[in-house]
Amino acid sequence: MATSPARVCFQLQIAPDLIDEYVARHSPVWPEMLAEIAASGRRNYSLFLGDGGMLIGYYETDDDAAAQAYLASSPIAAKWEAEMGRFFVGLGGRPDQASTPLSEVFNLAEQLTESTSTESSES
C-alpha cells in the first residue's frame, strides 16, 4: 500500500523593513538552489507572505528527514541560507532548519477518503 507524502508547513517572521528585498530575492530564486530543493525530494513547495512579514511555507516530500539532511549538507543551500538568514526575526540557525513547524489539523483529501471507505464498509 502506497503512503501519502508528508505535508510540511512552517512559519517564519521576516523583518518588516526587509519584506520588499526578501520578495525580490525570490523573483527568481537561483537556478542552482531550485535544483537542490528538487534534488532533496521536496516538491509542491510554496511560500506565502502575510501581513507584517509573516511567512508560511509548505512542501511535500516522501522523506522529510532525508530532504533536510540533503539540504543541510549542500554547499549551495548553505550559501543561500546564509544570505537569507538576515531577513528573519528571532531565528536561531539556518532558516531552512530553524523555522517553526505547524501542525496539520485538517486535510480534505484524507477525510474524503476516510469518509468514502467508512461509507463503503457500512453498506
40 to 60, 77, 78, 121: CA distances (angstroms): 11, 10, 14, 39
Is residue 93 part of the annotated active site? The answer reads: no
C-alpha pair distances (Å), 109 with each of 7, 8, 46, 63, 116: 12, 16, 19, 20, 11
Q: Which of 72, 70, 96, 75 is nearest to 84 (CA)?
A: 96
Write down the catalytic residue from 21, 26, 73, 104: 26
Q: Which residues are catalytic?
A: 26
